[in-house]
Amino acid sequence: MSKTGVVYVCQHCGWKSLKWVGRCGGCGEWDSTVEEIQTSHTGLHSKSVAFNRELPQPITRVKSPECPCIETGMKEFDRILGGGIIVGSAVLIGGTPGIGKSTLLLQICQNISQKGYTTLYITGEESVAQTKLRAERLSILSDNLLVVAETNLDFILENIHNTHPTMVVIDSIQMIYKSQLDSSPGTVAQVRQCANELIYTAKSTGSAIFLVGHVTKQGIIAGPKVLEHMADTVLYFEGEKSQCYRILRVVKNRFGSTDEIGIFEMRKNGLQQVDNPSEIFISQGRRINTGSAIIPCMEGTRALLIEIQALVARANFGMPERKVSGVDYNRVSMILAVLEKRIELKLGGQDIFVNIVGGVQIDEPAADLGIAMTIASSFKEKVIPSDMVVIGEVGLGGEVRNVNQIEIRLKEAQRLGFKRAVIPKDNVKGIGKEFGIELIEVGYLSEAIEIIG
């Protein structure tokens, strides 16, 4: 027996209401509820899947897969996944339109196919002929790469069971629909149900499934948040379409670090991995200019040298402007307050702009000292030496606190030819003598400002 009824579901968070409302009661979004037909089943309908259930067993008796990880040939992509594609995993990848999601996954399919594995690319937004044109532009030709244009979930699952692919790409999950549901493709009910069955298929067959997801205007993956909870790995493509560099950031990963990023360059023949990203972000860093400093930042297990720039100019009229790009606005506001209170820099009537070169986003507090020194450098018209890197967290009392993984940061700075490093005094104790770089230890922000005069 089954009962049907009408409910209104928020397309952002999945909140349900029996009547239409202008504003979602769950996430607060306006005009996001859509009418859907909901069917509730009564009775023991779960008996049909009883034959597939597994019995509990000791973890010591669980058999490990013979090849748990498959390398894709792209070191940047393998590293953020935790060594390669995990057998039976479900990966959700999101990004703005035209950022390069389909291009990257098509290239990964080509690399896997050339190793003798079967890959299945299911496109719901293009025809097979259109996908072939894009593949020819990327020089992708392999008999092991299967392509089909399909949006019906039942037919997609049938193709997966018939071809037994090692890797499956669903482009995109918002276009897939289950015919038994009355709602339209892309709605919360369709996305949740289709993703659930695809992920179950990945676990039962051993095929790694990549789900391409659309993003909202806020930059998050469209659909219910449970979609990210179900997937094993969640990746976000970042970058501006006007720039050639793309950043693939890990938001969730059950098989590796959740702080890794992969950097790629968009060329006419597709996305190419960047082997030495530090040289990109500091390409102009050695020029003698005020308000510019190099900071070693940690992205997962890798250290990157990032150039940070600050511009301080007198405000001619009205309220002084504060513009920030690449770092947290509230963090910069706190550093400005510390500079005014502890260092007595008169910044109240100044327009201040802070920018991270290359479009990368820095969230760690180890960049505090670099932000403070670049602001002071631009305000005083004093140049920070071009062979110096700056590391440290700034406290409200003006003290410079220690940071983690200091040795990895210094090794990266030394590799790229930097001669000096301004570091917190508390970090000096744990550093060995093998570094060929001069260490300038500071305990307070005032000591660091004195270095630039």
Please report the DSSP string for 66-129 in residue order: SS-EE--S-HHHHHHHTSSEETT-EEEEE--TTSSHHHHHHHHHHHHHHTT--EEEEESSS-HH
Taking each helix axis from N to C end, the angle separating 188-205 and 153-163, rounded to the nearest 10 degrees, works out to 10
Please report the DSSP string for 224-270 in residue order: -THHHHHSSEEEEEE--TTSSEEEEEEEEETTS-SS-EEEEEEETTE
Query: 95 among the known binding-site residues?
Result: yes
How open is the CA angle 248-191-205, to the nearest 5 degrees?
Answer: 75
Residue whose token pair is 């695809």? 198
CA distance 238 to 435: 34
Cis peptide before 172 (omega within 30 of 0): yes
CA distance 96 to 239: 9
CA distance 2 to 42: 6
Query: 102 among the known binding-site residues?
Result: yes
Query: 96 among the known binding-site residues?
Result: yes
Query: 417 among the known binding-site residues?
Result: no
Sheet-wide strand order for 233-238: 145-149, 119-123, 167-171, 208-213, 90-94, 233-238, 245-253, 261-267, 270-273
Main-chain dihedrals φ then ψ at residue 265, nearest 5 degrees: -115, 130
Q: Are 445 and 370 in contact (CB under 8 A)?
A: no
Query: 97 among the known binding-site residues?
Result: yes
Query: 60 among the known binding-site residues?
Result: no
Instruction: Please state the residue numbers annotated as binding site.
Output: 95-102
**Binding-site residues for ATP:** 95-102
